[in-house]
Amino acid sequence: MLTSLAWKNIWRSRKRSLIVIVAITFGLWGGLLAGAVMMGWGESMVSTAIDRDLAHIQIHQPHFIRDRDINEYIPDGAAILDQIRSIPGVFAVSGRTVTDGMAASPTSTYGVHIIGVDPQEAQKVTDIKQLLIDGSYFDNGGKNPIVIGKKLADRLNLKLHSKIVLSLQAMDSSLIYAAFRVNGIFKSESSPFDESHVFVNQADLSRLLGGTTIIHEIAIRTESSKLIPEVMAALQAKYPHLSVQSWKEIAPEIAVTASSMQFWSYIFVGIILMALIFGITNTMLMAVMERTRELGILIAVGMKRGRVFVMILLETIMLSLTGGAGGLVFGATTIYILSHTGINFSAFASSLESFGASTILYPFLPIDMYIALVVMIILAASVAATMPAWKAIHLRPSQAIRS
State whether 157 and 297 are in the same domain. no
**Max CA separation in the chain (angstroms):** 101
State whether 78 and 215 are in the same domain. yes
State whether 99 and 216 are in the same domain. yes
- Burial label for 227, CB within 10 Å (0-12, 13-18, 19+), is middle
Query: What would the mean pLDDT of 249-263 be, rounded to a whole number?
Result: 84
pLDDT at 141: 67
pLDDT at 215: 92
Q: CB under 8 Å to 270, separation ≥6 — which residues?
A: 376
State whether 232 and 259 are in the same domain. no
Query: What would the mean pLDDT of 279-286 be, rounded to a whole number?
Result: 81
State whether 267 and 236 are in the same domain. no
* 153 within domain boundaries: yes
State whether 119 and 30 are in the same domain. no
State whether 264 and 137 are in the same domain. no
Q: Return the number of other C-beta atoms located less than 10 Å from residue 144's C-beta.
A: 18
The mean pLDDT of the chain is 86
State whether 10 and 151 are in the same domain. no
Parent domain of 368: 2-49+255-402
Q: pLDDT for 170-217, tens place per residue?
A: 888 889 999 999 999 999 888 889 999 999 999 899 888 876 788 999
- For the ranges 109-118, 256-265, 354-363, 387-396, the maximum mean pLDDT occurs at 109-118
Q: pLDDT for 323-372, tens place per residue?
A: 888 988 998 999 999 988 888 887 777 776 766 777 788 888 888 888 88
Q: pLDDT for 77-96, tens place per residue?
A: 889 999 999 999 999 999 99
* 57 within domain boundaries: no
* 312 within domain boundaries: yes
State whether 145 and 190 are in the same domain. yes
Among 180, 208, 241, give the residue marking a domain's end: 241
pLDDT at 293: 79
Among 241, 272, 306, give the residue marking a domain's end: 241
Q: Give me the DSSP letters along 50-64.
A: IIIII-SEEEE-TTH
State whether 207 and 91 are in the same domain. yes
> Residues 173-199, buried b or exposed e (16+ Cβ, 10 A)?
eeeeebebebbbbbbbbbbebbbbbbb
Helix, strand, coil % in the chain, rounded to nearest 5: 60, 20, 20
CB 261 within 8 A of CB 365: no
State whether 70 and 127 are in the same domain. yes
Strand partners, 101: 112, 168
Domain count of the fold of the chain: 2
> Residues 287-306, buried b or exposed e (16+ Cβ, 10 A)?
bbeebbeebbebbeeeeeee
Q: Give me the DSSP letters along 315-344.
A: HHHHHHHHHHHHHHHHHHHHHHHHHHH-EE
State how far the Cα of 360 lies from the Cα of 203, in Å rounded to an integer. Answer: 36
Among 241, 276, 293, give the residue marking a domain's end: 241
State whether 31 and 67 are in the same domain. no
* 188 within domain boundaries: yes
Whole-number percent of the chain with pLDDT over 90: 36
Q: pLDDT for 333-346, tens place per residue?
A: 999 999 888 888 87
- What pTM did the predictor assign? 0.79
Q: Return the number of other C-beta atoms located less than 10 Å from residue 101's C-beta.
A: 20
